[in-house]
């Protein structure tokens, strides 16, 4: 195993918050904006991305010794596309309704930058253990990112969570815009601002303590 | 030179072949299930679209392979084949049809199911199978079935199938074959009407009435 890379545990932890795909790396914005109008959709998307990311990272890590520099992106894309197609078919077979709702966004995982980025940054350079830990960490980070936006949008826009109404329409007028694309941008912007504010504050505290 | 290319590309070739093999395997495993899902989604809607229709009996017709009936209408470039599902009551007596139709919506293709009575004179219900209209506005064309109020409820009030439907932004008069458009989604509403109008051509209605006279077990012979 390469000695210069971060350890598997570091990779795992980094993916969740310090290098969160949504709020820190700002990658994979297409699904983040498009399928976060409900928790069910967001979680299915997160699951499909997690499956693809973990499988692609493991395969890339296993063949990392054979990669030629100018062919590596091609190999990554090929690997990712294969697993995305598997995920797409499995969804259509076992979660037919959801597969219809997500529509083109599942095949679009192929061009999701989080996965190509992790193959390039970690899996192509480190062993299977580190690559797997990295993929799991990043997947959790992405799931957190998606669900944080989906919770806000679904509650404000539809008064529900996972499709179950939690605030009756009489008490909360549905803000339809939250389910539309502008709602995704507004929510993401505000949450990212909040995330930055919090991390700036904790950095200040650390400095003051030191 | 050639040997150099192979030495560089062998990994890509090998990976492509093994992934292709895997995907073919996955497809063999899942394709029948996916097809069955699509069919089941259609059959599920039959009782909701034709009053009195029974799901089990209508599904039995599909299992026995004489439903759906393919009906080809139009000439040349405009030739379209529709699938018409028998809507049966509990005893297996045909009550009407559920016709699968599709066309361009505001954003993307809209696929829908039209329920009609046995004489193909009255529309008994409408249901959207798939659509990608604007969330919050155009996608309201999906609402109004299974006892809930909404756009699709209007298609249950005995619209005539032999006369074109029109979408209007004002409240439609009773018996006028007009549909009140979803506010903010006039184009989506109009698209739905157009898809229904295109589908309910005289040719299709005649073919279905003939098929019904012959009885469900005899498939109508279609001239290509």
> Bridge partners of B83?
B70, B100
* Cα A148 from chain centroid (whole Å): 11
In this predicted structure, which of A67-71, A117-121, B65-69 has the lowest mean pLDDT? Answer: B65-69
Q: Is B75 a domain residue?
A: yes
Question: A181-209 and A128-158 are packed helices; what angle lies between their axes, rounded to 10 degrees?
Answer: 120
Residue A49's nearest CA partner among A68, A65, A34 is: A34
Q: pLDDT at position A58, please? A: 96
Q: pLDDT at position B26, please? A: 95
Residue A69 pLDDT > 80: yes
> Which whole number is the average pLDDT over B188-193?
94
Q: Express each pLDDT in B130-188 by its tens digit.
A: 888 887 788 889 888 887 888 999 998 888 888 899 998 888 887 788 999 998 899 99
Q: How far apart are CA B119 and CA B126, in angstroms?
A: 17
Q: Is B34 a domain residue?
A: no
Q: How far apart are CA A180 and CA B166, in angstroms?
A: 28
Residue-wise DSSP of chain B:
-HHHHHHHHHHHHHHHHHHHHHHHHHHHHHHHHHHHHHHHHHHHHHHHHSTT--HHHHHHHHHTT--SEEEEES-GGG-EEEEEEEEE-TTS-EEEEEEEEEEE-SSSEEEEEEEEETTS-EEEEEEEEE--PPTTTGGGGG-S-TT--SGGGGGGS-EESSS--EEESSPPPTTS-EEEPPTT-HHHHHHHHHHHHHHT-HHHHHHHHHHHHH-TTSPPPPP-
* Greater model confidence, B170 or A192: A192
Kindly report the nearest CA distance between residue A176 and chain B, in angstroms: 6
Residue A184 pLDDT > 60: yes
Residue B85 pLDDT > 50: yes
Q: B6 touching A, CB under 8 A?
A: no
Contacts with A73 from chain B: Cβ below 8 Å: none
Residue B222 pLDDT > 90: no
User: In chain B, what percentage of residues exceed pLDDT 90?
Assistant: 34
Q: What contacts B59, CB < 8 A, 6 or more positions away? A: B43
Question: Is the preceding peptide bond at B76 cis, omega within 30 degrees of 0?
Answer: no
> Which whole number is the average pLDDT over B32-44?
89
Q: pLDDT at position B101, please? A: 93
Which chain A residue is nearest to residue B19, measuring alpha carbons? Answer: A82
Residue A210 pLDDT > 50: yes
Q: State both tokens at B50.
A: 């034709």
Asked if A89's CB is within 8 angstroms of B27's CB, the reply is yes
Residue A95 pLDDT > 60: yes
Residue B223 pLDDT > 70: no
Residue B104 pLDDT > 90: yes
Q: pLDDT at position B126, please? A: 94
Q: How far apart are CA B149 and CA B155, in angstroms?
A: 11
Range of the domain at B172: 47-214
| Contact predicate B111/B44, CB 8 Å | no
> Which whole number is the average pLDDT over B89-99?
88
> Which whole number is the average pLDDT over A25-29?
90
End-to-end alpha carbon distance in chain A: 34
Q: How far apart are CA B34 and CA B21, in angstroms?
A: 19
| Contact predicate B161/B206, CB 8 Å | no
Q: Is B224 a domain residue?
A: no
Asked if A37's CB is within 8 angstroms of B19's CB, the reply is no
In this predicted structure, which of A133-137, A167-171, B65-69, B192-196 has the lowest mean pLDDT? Answer: B65-69
Q: How far apart are CA A98 and CA A107, in angstroms?
A: 14
Q: pLDDT at position A85, please? A: 94
Contacts with A80 from chain B: Cβ below 8 Å: none
* Cα A17 from chain centroid (whole Å): 12
Q: pLDDT at position B217, please? A: 65
Q: pLDDT at position B89, please? A: 87
Count the alpha carbons within 13 Å of B22 in the hemisphere toward its beta carbon.
Answer: 16
Q: State both tokens at A147.
A: 């669900």
Q: Whole-model pTM?
A: 0.76
Q: Is B24 a domain residue?
A: no
Q: pLDDT at position A89, please? A: 93
Q: How far apart are CA B197 and CA B144, in angstroms?
A: 20
Kindly report the nearest CA distance between residue B163 and chain A, in angstroms: 32
User: In chain B, what percentage of residues exceed pLDDT 70?
Assistant: 96
Question: Residue B32 — very low, low, confident or very high, per pLDDT cuts 50/70/90?
Answer: very high
Q: Express each pLDDT in A3-12 by its tens digit.
A: 567 888 989 9
How many residues make up chain A in this entry?
210
Q: How far apart are CA A151 and CA A164, in angstroms?
A: 12
Q: Is the ipTM, as predicted for this complex, more than 0.90?
A: no
Q: Which residues of A87-110 are buried (b: 16+ CB within 10 A; e: fewer)?
A: bbbbbbbebbebbbbbeebbebbb
Kindly report the nearest CA distance between residue B26 and chain A, in angstroms: 7
* Pairing between β-strand B166-168 and β-strand B69-73 as defined by DSSP bridges: unpaired
Residue B224 pLDDT > 60: no
Q: Is B221 a domain residue?
A: no
Question: Residue A2 — very low, low, confident or very high, per pLDDT cuts 50/70/90?
Answer: very low
* Greater model confidence, B5 or B155: B155
Q: Is B69 a domain residue?
A: yes
Residue A47 pLDDT > 60: yes
pLDDT, chain A, mean: 90
Q: Is B189 a domain residue?
A: yes
Which chain A residue is nearest to residue B13, measuring alpha carbons? Answer: A75
Residue-wise DSSP of chain A:
--SSSPPHHHHHHHHHTTT-TTTTS---HHHHHHS-SSHHHHHHHHHHHHHHHHHHHHHHHHTGGG--GGGHHHHHHHHHHHHHHHHHHHHHHH-HHHHHHHGGGTGGGGG-HHHHHHIIIIITTS-HHHHHHHHHHHHHHHHHHHHHHHHHHHHHHHSEETTEESS-TTTS---GGGGSHHHHHHHHHHHHHHHHHHHHHHHHHHHHH-
Q: Is B7 a domain residue?
A: no
* Greater model confidence, A48 or B171: A48
> Which whole number is the average pLDDT over A60-85?
92
Residue B81 pLDDT > 70: yes
Residue B91 pLDDT > 50: yes
Residue B220 pLDDT > 50: no
Residues of chain A whose beta carbon is less than 8 angstroms from a beta carbon of chain B are: 37, 63, 66-68, 71, 74-75, 78-79, 81-82, 85-86, 89-90, 92-94, 96-97, 100, 103, 157, 176-177, 179-180
Residue B55 pLDDT > 90: no
- Number of separate domains in chain B: 1
């Amino acid at each position: 195993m390469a000695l210069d890379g971060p350890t598997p545990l570091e990779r795992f932890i980094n993916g969740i918050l310090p290098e969160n795909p949504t709020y820190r790396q700002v990658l994979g914005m297409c699904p983040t904006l498009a399928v976060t109008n409900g928790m069910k959709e967001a979680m299915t998307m997160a699951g499909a991305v997690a499956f693809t990311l973990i499988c692609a990272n493991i395969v890339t890590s296993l063949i990392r010794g054979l990669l030629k520099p100018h062919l590596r992106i091609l190999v990554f894309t090929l690997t990712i596309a294969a697993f995305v197609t598997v995920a797409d078919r499995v969804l259509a077979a076992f979660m037919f309704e959801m597969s219809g709702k997500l529509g083109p966004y599942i095949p679009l995982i192929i061009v999701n930058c989080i996965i190509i980025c992790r193959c390039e940054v970690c899996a192509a350079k480190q062993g299977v253990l580190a690559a797997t830990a990295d993929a799991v960490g990043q997947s959790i980070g992405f799931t957190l990112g998606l669900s944080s936006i989906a919770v806000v949008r679904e509650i404000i826009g539809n008064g529900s969570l996972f499709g179950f109404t939690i605030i009756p329409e009489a008490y909360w007028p549905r803000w339809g815009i939250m389910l539309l694309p502008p709602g995704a941008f507004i929510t993401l912007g505000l949450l990212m601002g909040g995330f930055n504010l919090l991390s700036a504050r904790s950095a200040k505290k650390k400095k003051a303590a030191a | 030179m050639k040997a150099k290319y192979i030495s560089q590309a062998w990994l890509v070739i090998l990976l492509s072949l093994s992934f292709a093999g895997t995907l073919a395997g996955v497809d063999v495993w899942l394709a029948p299930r996916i097809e069955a899902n699509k069919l089941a989604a259609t059959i599920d809607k039959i009782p909701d679209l034709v009053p009195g229709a029974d799901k089990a009996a209508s599904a039995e017709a599909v299992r026995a392979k004489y439903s759906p009936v393919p009906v080809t209408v139009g000439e040349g470039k405009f030739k379209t084949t529709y699938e018409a599902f028998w809507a049966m009551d509990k005893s297996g007596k045909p009550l009407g049809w559920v016709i699968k139709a599709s066309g361009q919506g505001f954003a993307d293709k809209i696929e829908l199911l039209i329920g009609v009575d046995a004489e193909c004179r009255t529309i008994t219900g409408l249901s959207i199978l798939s659509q990608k209209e604007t969330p919050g506005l155009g996608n309201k064309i999906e609402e109004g079935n299974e006892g809930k109020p909404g756009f699709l409820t209007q298609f249950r009030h005995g619209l005539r199938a032999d006369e074109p439907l029109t979408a209007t932004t004002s409240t439609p008069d009773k018996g006028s074959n007009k549909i009140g458009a979803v506010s903010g989604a006039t184009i989506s509403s109009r698209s739905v009407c157009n898809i229904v109008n295109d589908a309910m051509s005289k040719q299709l209605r005649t073919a279905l009435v003939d098929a019904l006279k012959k009885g469900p077990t005899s498939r109508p012979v279609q001239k290509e």
